[in-house]
């Protein structure tokens, strides 16, 4: 993933529980696709995160890179 890629919330991960899957599906439906603005390391433990702008809602969120998938380079 790199700045400028279009991304969307990943719906499947082997570690997802039912609640996590429903949350991912809700976020994907409400927010739609997004544009990566920045990449950074953050959190505890430190992990790769991205800042994403969602044009559908006009909102900006930080999220773990592992929870997103690229839909267009």
Predicted confidence (pLDDT) at residue 4 exceeds the cutoff of 80: yes
Mean per-residue pLDDT over the chain, rounded: 92
3-class SS of residue 31: helix
Query: Quick one: pLDDT at residue 20?
Result: 85
CA angle 68, 13, 3 (to 5 degrees): 15
3-class SS of residue 72: strand
Query: For residue range 10-40, what is the model confidence (pLDDT) as tens digits?
Result: 987 777 778 888 888 899 999 999 999 999 9
8 A C-beta contact, residue 36 and residue 7 = yes
Query: Quick one: pLDDT at residue 23?
Result: 87
């Amino acid at each position: 993933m790199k700045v400028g890629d279009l991304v969307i919330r990943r719906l499947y991960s082997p570690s997802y529980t039912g609640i996590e899957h429903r949350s991912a599906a809700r976020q994907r439906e409400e927010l739609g696709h997004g544009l990566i603005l920045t990449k950074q390391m953050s959190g505890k433990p430190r992990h790769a995160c991205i800042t994403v702008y969602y044009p559908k809602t006009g909102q900006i969120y930080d999220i773990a890179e592992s929870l997103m998938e690229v839909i267009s380079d």
